[in-house]
Amino acid sequence: METHGRQQGKMFRRCGETGSFRDLRIREGGQNGQRWRQEPAIMKAVREDRSRSTRRNGAALRIHHSTVHRVLKKNNLHPFHLKKVQELLPVDSEHDIRVNVWIGLMRARLFEPVILPDRLNSNKFSNLLNNDLVDFLEEISLAAKQELWFQMDGCPAHNGRIVQNSLNQCFGEKWIGRYGPVRWPPRSPDLTALDFYVWGTLKSNVYSININTRDELINRMSLLQ
């Protein structure tokens, strides 16, 4: 009973001093005490270099980065990550110049680029098939035509009924497309060589110098020929 009475006396004194029956003192031997002792050093490191991360501060002070994070939170500070971005220069305005291009690839042969309308639809793409493509096919041998498969990617303008009818008339069952006799295989480098090689190489050649006009952009495309 005497021990219980002393404990009650301590609780009442603590309540009068701190406003709480709980012991709010920081114990030197625990994690809170360790954090309390390290707080001045942590805050000094943060003030000296605000761009340094919590992990780097923790490594410099030989403490866990979570301790640094808790101390910052206690002082109403919030770590953040810097995100580096590329600065746009005036010369970068050249990338606002755009053209739609069609290129054909047959084995090791690359057909000359055809400039398409800015807004391509199925009717306009069908005109390309019935005119430019027919001219290209006239340049290859009959034996090559008999082995030829025509392939397109998933561009919406390639999927119209008028396009499908043109391809059925020209190639029969030997064409590949999203709604073709053979479905187009996306993300397949061995079957989509244009995506795998040609477009990247074309852009590398075109943008190796500054482009200022649409005509310059079109002329640069001839480098692949």
pTM: 0.49
The secondary structure of the chain, three-state, reads CHHHHHHHHHHHHHHHHHCCCCCCCCCCCCHHHHHHHHHHHHHHHHHHCCCCCHHHHHHHHCCCHHHHHHHHHHCCCCCCCCCCCCCCCHHHHHHHCCCEEECCEECCEECCCEEECCCCCHHHHHHHHHHHHHHHHCCCCHHHHHHCCEECCCCHHHCCHHHHHHHHHHHCCCEEECCCCEECCCCCCCCCHHHHHHHHHHHHHHCCCCCCCHHHHHHHHHHHC
Looking at the fold, whether 157 and 97 belong to one and the same domain comes out as yes
In the predicted model, what is the mean pLDDT of residues 208-225? Answer: 77
Q: Considering the domain boundaries, does residue 145 fall inside one?
A: yes
In a domain, 86, yes or no: no
Please tell me whether residues 128 and 216 are part of one structural domain.
yes
Do 212 and 196 contact (CB within 8 A), yes or no?
no
Asked, for residue 142, whether it belongs to a domain, the answer is: yes
pLDDT tens per residue across span 183-211: 876 666 556 667 677 777 778 878 788 77
Asked which of 27, 44, 74 is the last residue of a domain, the reply is: 74
Q: 48, 74, 100: which is the final residue of a domain?
A: 74
**Starting at the edge strand that comes first in sequence, how are the strands of the sheet with 150-151 ordered?**
150-151, 175-177, 182-183
Same domain, 101 and 151: yes
Using alpha carbons only, how large is the chain's radius of gyration in Å? 35
Our count of domains for the chain comes to: 2
108 shares its domain with 68: no
Residue 52 identity (one-letter amino acid): R
Q: Which domain holds residue 117?
A: 91-224
Same domain, 99 and 208: yes
The model's pLDDT over 101-153, given as tens digits with 9 standing for 90+, comes to: 888 878 777 777 888 888 889 999 998 888 888 888 888 888 888 888 888 77
Question: For the segment 15-39, what is each residue's pLDDT rounded down to a tens digit?
Answer: 655 555 555 444 444 555 565 678 8
Residue 85 maps to a domain: no
- Asked if residue 80 is part of any domain, the answer here is no
The number of residues making up the chain comes to: 225
pLDDT digits (tens, 9 = 90+) for 73-97: 888 888 776 666 556 666 555 556 7
Residue 119: alpha-carbon gap to chain centroid: 25
Q: What is the pLDDT of residue 162?
A: 93
**Residues 183 and 120 reside in one and the same domain:** yes
Tell me if 152 is assigned to some domain.
yes
